[in-house]
Amino acid sequence: MEREAVVQSAPQQPMNERPSFLVLHGEMTAAIVSGILIVIGWFLMNQDYSEFGIGSFILAYVIGGFAKAKEGIEETIKEKELNVEMLMLLAAIGSAIIGYWLEGALLIFIFALSGALETYTMNRSERELTSLMELQPEEATVLYEGKEKTVSLPNIKKGDILLIKPGERVPLDGTILSGQTSIDQAAITGEAVPVFKEIGNEVYAGTVNVNGAVTVEVTKPAQDTLFQKIITLVQQAQNEKSPSQLFIEKFESVYVKAVLIIVALMMFLPHFLLDWSWTETFYRAMILLVVASPCALVAAITPASLSAISYGARHGILFKNGLHLERLAHLEAIAFDKTGTLTKGTPAVTDVITREGVSEEEFLYIVASIERYSHHPLAQSIVQHAQSKITKELKQPEQLEDVPGFGVIGSLNNQEIKIGKREFFKKEAHAFCPNLSESFATEGKTVVYAKDDQGIIGMIALKDMVRSEAKEAISVLNELGIKTVMLTGDSEKTASAISKECSVENYIAGCLPEEKVTHVKTLKQTHETVAMVGDGINDAPALAHANIGIAMGEGTDVALETADIVLMKNNLSKIAQAVKLSKKMNAIIKQNIIFSISIIVLLICSNFLQFLDLPLGVIGHEGSTILVILNGLRLLKN
């Protein structure tokens, strides 16, 4: 019952074009109609209208079996290999030849029903992709020389200016140039509460502008947006096959040939060796043809795999293919980058210490007035913090000089102000709250000092804050018995502080990109499956060398393309969730395989011992297939 994923054509469909009823429900409708015709045929046969009853059964054959017969014949011609569909077709025809019209029709009906369930699984997976696609508008309002013009997304270029009104979806990734609003980002980041956005903030395609008109400069064309990457990754995962699926496909080909050879022998040998009648011999051969077909075995993996991929996509975990979804269950060690992965990647002010006689507000006003003209990340964080704490407008410095590697020198109210790291001030900085400075360093904080004519005015401690979910995520991974390691280019003190805060088992500081690769390779020597989590260009080599590369959704394009799994919501707790999902999927697949093989063996033995009649053989074989598919569908809700 191998099928090509129906999602392959989805991205080419217009976003507002919905599949027809027949496309979505054709197989299930055919199966139901086939079932009704079987009931009618059975009733007519019991009323001695055998000719009309047989006619009803023939219609049930044609309507219920057309899709499967067409699929089987086309696949056989294309691949030059017999398949399960052809086995079922031959079994149904054989049943009719020996006068078991009802049994043959039941075989077609249950086979069609199991196929419809499998198609439902794939359509459900496709709907996850379609629902994503519908979030992105097809057109946007572009401002050309102050005039509004409606333009289709493929024709909008990087640098174009968009007008996004309240209630409209953001069509493309961009940066706000004017206005302020709240953006509902639930579709991309999973945040339940709309996020306030103002000039300079980024907005993402597929999100909703809640309450204010804004103009946005496009930073990425339609094909490169974060939203489009989600769609591409989901589609790619749906069309890829796991190792188990590939193995079953190869096994199916060999198994089908073996079954046909055994059935052919079964048509003659029992008559001569066991003294069965020709009728009994052919009858048992037909039952063997039915019960030995590996329908349930073939259906053991695909529905479960697609269901798990769909569940992951709905919860912000994108698997690029089934291989890594299956492999994740065997994860033994995981290495994390620090900046942008365990931490938010942007420093935040944690402490402000001033000398006696200087208020915190006055100190922040002086420092921010000078630092707001610097592009250094620390300077921007200080300015942002100051603007949230003080009310008066910052003043423009009379003079500003950048001192590379140390800080800046500015002039404010005709007074020279020096701002920078400790080494910029020599002994004066060392003497200012020395115990506190050492404490900040131990905690992994960076300290910025400011000095005027009278000496050190104060100091500001900043820290790249650990993600709120990081500690919990690491704790769960440790509980699962997975070794956790942090690889960072930061100093020993910073690495030690962050690793303790996150409860990471081990850390390695001062790592260059190539050294991260070396450490990942070392982990692979002692652990069967190793994952690497990162977000930057410098993490890409390690992501590629790990057994499983995991990228943060807001990471660089290189990291996203190199990784095997993407956490679209940047939520590290999703890693443990993905591991549990993989374990559950593998457990369900094992259950399905053991169950389907057991049923096949039981039915074959019962047939040889002449305990099994064709109706029970049909129900046992196709019923097991339906149960296997339904078991796999459980993963849609996890």
By annotation, the residues acting in catalysis are 337
Give the other-Cβ count within 10 Å of 356's Cβ.
Answer: 4
Q: What distance in Å separates the CA atoms of residue 543 and residue 533, rounded to the nearest whole number?
A: 7
Provide the strand spans (E) within 355-427: 399-403, 407-412, 415-420
Report helix angle 302-314 to 101-133, nearest 10. 20
Please name the residues in contact with 267: beta carbons below 8 A apart, sequence gap of 6 or more: 281, 282, 285
Contact 492, 510 (CB under 8 A): yes
Q: What distance in Å separates the CA atoms of residue 138 and residue 107, rounded to the nearest whole number?
A: 46
Please name the residues in contact with 184: beta carbons below 8 A apart, sequence gap of 6 or more: 194, 207, 208, 210
Q: Which residue has the tokens 């009309």?
A: 52
Q: Is 607 helix (H, G, I), strand (E, B) or coil?
A: helix
Q: What distance in Å separates the CA atoms of residue 492 and residue 494, rounded to the nearest whole number?
A: 6
Residue 164: phi and psi, rounded to 5, are: -120, 115
Cα atoms in the 13 Å half-sphere on the side-chain side of 27 = 21
Q: Kindly tell me the burial class for residue 563, based on how many C-beta atoms sit within 10 Å of its own C-beta (0-12, 13-18, 19 or more).
A: buried
Whole-number CA gyration radius for the chain: 33
- Cα distances (Å, whole numbers) of residue 420 to 92, 154, 456: 84, 46, 11
Q: Which residue has the tokens 């086979």?
A: 111
